[in-house]
Amino acid sequence: MLYFAYGSNLHHFQMKRRCKDSVFLKKINLKNFKLTFRSKYRAADIEPKKNSIVPGGLFEISKSDEKKLDIYEDFPILYKKYFFLYYGKKVMTYTMNKKTPFRFPTERYLNIVKRGYKDCKLDKKYLDRALLL
């Protein structure tokens, strides 16, 4: 199945550790969404926003990878699954259930996300924008 990562799972080493079958395919943009950080975990989330994009990584993952991600993402309590079409193919990602106010991520978490942006060759301006408010 196809999985869209936009937070710490962009980090290739971490993603491989979590999901041993995962293969990074390419970077893509999720249109009409924006990146933010929230919850007591100060983790990445996406929310609808017209004319905005969230850059991310497209991964091929196995069924067992998906089960591992479900556990890691605290599905269905913290995150729910969100599906969208990318060139006619169904792609899965996670989005938080409770849209709590913005919380600045921890330095450790943010460094993992930054490393992921490098790994996937994403434009860091979208990450910077999400942190500015």
Quote the number of domains for the chain: 1
E strands, 61-127, are 79-86, 89-96
pLDDT of residue 40 exceeding 90: yes
Note the pLDDT tens digit of each residue in 44-88. Answer: 999 999 999 999 999 999 999 999 999 999 999 999 999 999 999
**Is 29 a domain residue?**
yes
Specify the pTM. 0.97
Instruction: Provide the domain limits for residue 74.
Output: 2-128
- Using an 8 Å Cβ cutoff, are 15 and 61 in contact? no
Q: Return the CATH number at 102.
A: 3.10.490.10
**Is 6 a domain residue?**
yes
Angle (nearest 5°) at CA 58 between 55 and 64: 135
**Is 26 a domain residue?**
yes
